[in-house]
Structures are given as structure tokens and as C-alpha cells.
Structure 1
Amino acid sequence: MKTFRNLFLFGILLFAAISMQAQTQPVDDNGLAIGGYDVVAYFSGGAKKGSKSYMAKHNGATYYFSSNANKMAFTKAPEKYLPQFDGWCAWGVAAKDTKFPINPETFDVMDGKLYLFFNGPFNGEPFNTYEDWAQRTSELKKAAHAKWPKVKNSK
């Protein structure tokens, strides 16, 4: 019985760890953008889940915000807060010429722009694309912006 309980607890912990590293499409099948994270909050220092109570639509996607002030800031100037590359992994665009899903808690704000990254299991191993981005930011940022028009139209 004790072994079963320990296995059950291990399973719960494993599920929680995997869930915390979950990847999401920039806009999911229900139209929710960035996994429900507040795109304005990134600019004040952190990834923060939004709430259905503070919701706005933009270009067919639904964005959640953690406060009415953030919602209002977004509705006044959405382009200021939208992530680069339509929310796809910046590293994936730059290094692999493709669209990777993102972990909304792995991000960078530079030069007033939001960049999101894949960070989770890949082929059974942990893989955080931000690590390479941080090492080669200038090179990868330039490459991503140059490649985005072609990658944007790919499937």
C-alpha cells in the first residue's frame, strides 16, 4: 500500500513538472493567445497569467490580462505589446526557419519588443531555446527578423 501511495505521489509530481513546462501555440484552437498570459505584464518584468475578467480581442485572438489597467493599455496600443513573430518561438524562426510553440514563461523583452521561446521536453530531453538566444542574441535577433517574412507564410 505504501509503494502504491509513493508511486501515486510521484505521478502527481511528474505531471505537475511536465505541466509547468507545457508548450502552447501562440493562439490555440479556442482562439486564446499566449496560453492566457498577460502580454502587457511582460513589460513590467514578469510572465503573469491573465483572467477572463479582463479580456480583449485583437485580430481574432482573445487576450487575457491580470488587471483592467493592462487591458486598457493593450486596447490603446496593441502593437506595442504583441510578441514578435506572431508569438512563435524567436529562436525557432532564427535558427531553424520554422514555427515552434512557446512556453509563455520563457521570454525576453528587448528594445521594447517581446520575444517568446520554446522551453520544455524535446525528444525526451529538456530543451530551452532561450539559452542559445541569450548567447547569440544579436546574431539570432537579426536572423529572425530577416527570415520571418518567409517563415510566416510557411505551414
Structure 2
Amino acid sequence: MKNTVTLLLLIISAVAFAQKTDYNTKKGFVAEGYDVVSYFVDKKPQEGKGKYQTTYDGAKFKFSSEKNLNLFKENPTKYIPQYGGYCAYAVAAKKTKMYVDAEAYEIRDGKLYLFYNSWLSNKLEDWQKGDTKKLQAQGDKNWEELKQVKK
């Protein structure tokens, strides 16, 4: 019994103190409040509405419709942007977190990637001009180290 109680306390401590993924919620929501399902269903980003929102893994998401909210709830990991919604190019090439323009995106291999974009620098273009497969692999590796570090 004593061993069971000790084990239970260790498990509870591990869960309570485990860090969660650091999602890019600069505007209060992942993907700047855009509907992450819309990238896949509508083939373009749609702004989320306040009445359709949920929290997953400690991060808030907005949706453009109840249908998309329900699709997300059925399989959230299918729709969550890679690298917590930070700029995919920055994570891969610079091993750093950079905010994004939610309208600068790519769906590759069934995954959503978001990118920084300004009039001076379009990281989506840099991503597509480079060796994208290599960038994806490097991004995945870098994200393992970055995902729990708060920006």
C-alpha cells in the first residue's frame, strides 16, 4: 500500500509539474485567432468568431463555424500548426521562435506551417526556395528543444 501511495504521488507530481507546449498566442489565440480547420477545409484561412472557441493543451483556439469547432474537437492534433504556431522557417533555420502572419502559410504532408511575413521579409518564400524536406527535419529536431521554452 505504501508503494502504491508513493507511486501515485510521483505520478501526480510529474503531471502537475510537466511543462506544456509553448503555443504562439500573441493575440490571445493560436494562429492569431484564425480558424485552424479552415486552412484544410476551406483551403484558405478564415478568421475565427468569439462564439466558437475552445481550449486544447492550455491554448485557446477560435473557429469560423460550429462545424469547424467540432472537427477540431474530434482530432485536434490534425489541425494544430506545427511548432506551436511559430514561424516554421525560424524554428528550422534559426532555432528560434518568431511570430507569424497567419495568412502566410503552407500545408505540406498534411501539416499546417505558419510563417513570418512583412514587406521586408517573407519567410514562406525562403522556406519554399530552400530544401524544404531538410528544413522540416531540422524544424522537427529543433522544436523538441524549443517547445517547452516560453517566448
AA of the residue aligned to 1:81: Y
- SS at the partner of 1:120? coil
- SS at the partner of 2:46? coil
- SS at the partner of 2:47? coil
1:75 is aligned to 2:73: yes
Structure 2 partner of 1:50: 48
More deviation, 53-62/92-101? 53-62
1:148 is aligned to 2:143: yes
In 1, the alpha carbon distance for the partners of 2:115 and 2:99 equals 8
How many angstroms does 1:132 deviate by? 1.0
How many angstroms does 1:103 deviate by? 0.5
How many angstroms does 1:116 deviate by? 0.5
State the identity as a percent: 39
Where in structure 2 are there 5+ consecutive unaligned residues? Answer: 1-22
Q: How does 1:12-31 map to 2 (within 5 A)?
A: 26-28=24-26, 31=28
Structure 2 partner of 1:117: 115
In the comparison of the two structures, how many residue pairs are matched? 126
Structure 2 partner of 1:99: 97
In 1, the alpha carbon distance for the partners of 2:148 and 2:49 equals 31
Structure 1 partner of 2:134: 139
1:37 is aligned to 2:34: yes
Deviation per CA, 1:18-77: give whole Å up to 9, x if none.
xxxxxxx82136x42221100000113101101012111112222111111100000111
Deviation per CA, 1:107-151: give whole Å up to 9, x if none.
011111110000015xxxx10100110112112111111211122
In 2, the alpha carbon distance for the partners of 1:106 and 1:74 equals 21
Structure 2 partner of 1:64: 62
Preserved CA contact (<8 Å) 2:26 2:99 = no
Where in structure 1 are there 5+ consecutive unaligned residues? Answer: 1-24
Structure 2 partner of 1:88: 86
User: Please, what is the CA RMSD of the aligned residues?
Assistant: 1.6
Preserved CA contact (<8 Å) 2:91 2:139 = yes
- SS at the partner of 2:54? strand
